[in-house]
Structure 1
Amino acid sequence: MTTAAGRTGVFFGGTSAAEPGMANLVDRAAELAHEAAAAGVRTMWFGQGLDYDAVQLAALVGRAEPRIHVGTAVVPMYPRHPLLVAAAAKTAQAATGGRFRLGLGLGARTALEPVFGLPYPPQIQHLREHLAVLRPLLDGDDAPFEGDTLASRPITPTSVAGAAPRIPVLVAAMGPRALAAAGELADGTMPFLAGPRTLAERIVPAITEAAAAAGRPAPRIVAGVPAVVTDDVAAARTRAAEVLGFYDGIPSYRNVIAAEGKASAADLLLTGDEDTVAAGLRRYLDAGATELMLTHTDLLDADSRARTWALAGRL
């Protein structure tokens, strides 16, 4: 039996995954999952870095803490082949007894191409082909696929005993063409730094229309929101400017930040007391988000994180 996923989850990665003096990242992630579950949080998301694997970490943590659902937010498709992504996801689903969700993203070409030293394929075409291969593989369909950016030719069965139920696939899509692909070929989207106005006016209508045209159910929209409950708002905003400044240089994020009428990613931080942050989060739900993922909840200290997670648990 699985628990029910919560409407407000929390994120592990970035500052969470870089605590000084931490002996073992997997152990620390499991400790935080126990802490989150005790606060009433029922969903925990894991970011992909180069120092650990998000799918494996989600599987290990989900197995260690049976009260929570786990997911990735997000694993870049490039340069991972969908056969490998599907195998990892089905393993995580089996390990957690059906409490795993797979969040994927295109990744930032300017950041990833130099790292891997491989040519980045045309983004939207690759997104469509990756999803066209991945969904059947997740469902145990071994049919070959020949595309322009990838090919898939399984030579052994791709089903995994105990991996049911169906694994939801969410795409970190915010542009119109990526949202159309997500609506047609995936179960929803995971926008990050897209505020309530951008959700209501751009993201929710675009992906909902695409899903409806493809005869698919209403999409899940998991909005990633930087949020910190604290009495020291000035310190939180200063720290957010340091940590979130990376996103100001990525075109896709610059676009949604500007669409929200903000000058920088840090301007989207929700911070203040519990009532202030809760009111801000409700604006995202009113804008059409079906779930929230609170990120950067530990910008300051363990106390602010505990307060933020307690709020997430209540919501």
Structure 2
Amino acid sequence: MSIGVALAAVAGADPVPLLVAAVGPQALRATGELADGTLPFLAGPKVLADEIVPAITAAAGGNPRVVAFVAGVVTSDIDRLRATALERLAFYDRIPSYQRVIGLAGASRAGEVAVIGDEETAAAEVRRYFDAGATEVVFTQTDLGSADDQRRTWKLLGELAR
């Protein structure tokens, strides 16, 4: 069996960046050597600062992109949304690579790593991700709550992007 990769090129265009969802040491080493960056998911700021950013940066020999994918939502109903996050992210609790980063973040379940709170809380968490070495932060699972919660989340993220 052979596996191949075909990359298309357009004359005069910038190359499309290759980002890999890597969180483990070996995957980060390969990603740093071969790709433009990583897309860690469920890796909190401490995990980024202590594990992911140093590993991929050393392997890349430069400054790779670290696009932190963060489950998060702005809400006033924190307890209900935390319960929803625990339920909807439970799939990741069974995957060894995610179990590792969740544990390194000081949590035991994926839903505990989700950013859930008011605008001030979410903004502070976004800053923590950047301070930890993320070059970009992308909120996912913004639909954990109501449509109003999702709008609040998008509004905050839009304001932070300015």
TM-score tier (shorter):
over 0.9
Q: Deviations over 1:202-232 (max 9, x none)?
A: 10000001111xxxx4100000111110110
C-alpha separation between the residues in 1 aligned to 2:53 and 2:91? Answer: 25
C-alpha separation between the residues in 1 aligned to 2:106 and 2:76? Answer: 26
Whether 2:130 is the aligned partner of 1:281: answer no
Question: Residue 199 of structure 1 corresponds to which residue in structure 2?
Answer: 48
C-alpha separation between the residues in 1 aligned to 2:23 and 2:111? Answer: 18
Question: Residue 60 of structure 2 corresponds to which residue in structure 1?
Answer: 211
- Structure 2 counterpart of 1:175, from 24, 35, 52: 24
- Structure 1 counterpart of 2:5, from 82, 95, 100: 82
| Letter in structure 2 aligned against 1:254 | Q
3-state SS, counterpart of residue 153 of structure 2 = helix
Q: 1:81 deviation in Å?
A: 4.8
C-alpha separation between the residues in 1 aligned to 2:47 and 2:24? Answer: 11
Question: Residue 139 of structure 2 corresponds to which residue in structure 1?
Answer: 294
Whether 2:156 is the aligned partner of 1:311: answer yes
Q: Deviations over 1:21-44 (max 9, x none)?
A: xxxxxxxxxxxxxxxxxxxxxxxx
| Letter in structure 2 aligned against 1:238 | A
| Letter in structure 1 aligned against 2:87 | E
Question: Residue 93 of structure 2 corresponds to which residue in structure 1?
Answer: 248
Segments of 4+ moved more than 6 angstroms:
none
Q: Deviations over 1:168-200 (max 9, x none)?
A: 010111111111111111000000000111110
Whether 2:78 is the aligned partner of 1:233: answer yes
Q: 1:161 deviation in Å?
A: 6.1
C-alpha separation between the residues in 1 aligned to 2:30 and 2:60? Answer: 9
Q: 1:234 deviation in Å?
A: 1.0
C-alpha separation between the residues in 2 aligned to 1:273 and 1:81? Answer: 46
Q: 1:82 deviation in Å?
A: 2.0
Q: Deviations over 1:109-140 (max 9, x none)?
A: xxxxxxxxxxxxxxxxxxxxxxxxxxxx34x4
3-state SS, counterpart of residue 89 of structure 2 = helix
3-state SS, counterpart of residue 228 of structure 1 = strand
C-alpha separation between the residues in 2 aligned to 1:173 and 1:229? Answer: 27
Q: 1:301 deviation in Å?
A: 1.5
- Between the aligned residues of both structures, percent identity stands at 56
Question: Residue 224 of structure 1 corresponds to which residue in structure 2?
Answer: 69
| Letter in structure 1 aligned against 2:126 | L
In angstroms, what is the RMSD of aligned CA positions? 1.5
C-alpha separation between the residues in 2 aligned to 1:177 and 1:272? Answer: 34
C-alpha separation between the residues in 2 aligned to 1:249 and 1:81? Answer: 30
Provide TM-score, normalisation by structure 1: 0.48
Whether 2:35 is the aligned partner of 1:186: answer yes
| Letter in structure 2 aligned against 1:248 | D
> Comparing both chains, which one has the higher relative contact order based on Cα–Cα distances under 8 Å and sequence gaps of 6 or more?
2
Aligned length: 158
